[in-house]
Copies of this chain bind each other. A is one copy, B any other.
Amino acid sequence: MPNGTNCPLCDTDGGRVIWRGAEFRLIRADDALLPALYRIVWNAHLTEFSDLSALQRLSCMDAVVLVEQTLRATLAPDKINLASLGNVVPHLHWHVMPRWRWDAYWPQSAWSAAQRTMDDARLARVNALLPEVDAALLRAFARRFGGT
């Protein structure tokens, strides 16, 4: 994929935008099997984490950990998974995923084969909290990085 050409994270936001800054944005993905999946997406088309400057890396991981802290505080998941892969979409983005022992993939990765059918009642309880989680993230990002 040439830089930025036909790149879904250049052409679209990649999900519901929770907060947007000059260098990166926070989006919530819509994945039926992975509730409360958020991503930090770098705005410019870069491929690797080490393509960022040292200061940009600090900001980026500060944002990743702020999502992690907010998800722990609001959803109390059993685990947080962090990953920057980009094999399919080579535009720098970090996944921040809350994981639960009851979720479809536990204890395997979110890219592994599903281990069980989704627990619809538990899923619905997480989904019901998403407006509150989105709002907590927006407050935390505005406080840390500015903007509204």
Chain A residues within 8 Å of B, Cβ to Cβ: 47-50, 57-58, 61, 64-65, 68-69, 72, 79-88, 90, 99, 106-109, 111-113
Contact = CB atoms under 8 A, between A and B. Distances in A.
A101 to B, nearest CB: 9
Contact of A87 (B72, B87, B90, B106): B106
Contacts of A85: 79, 81-83, 109
A1 to B, nearest CB: 11
B83 A82 contact: yes
A83 B83 contact: yes
Contacts of A79: 47-48, 85-87, 90
Nearest to A94: B82
A108 B111 contact: yes
A77 to B, nearest CB: 10
Nearest to A66: B50
A61 B57 contact: yes
A12 to B, nearest CB: 20
A109 B107 CA distance: 15
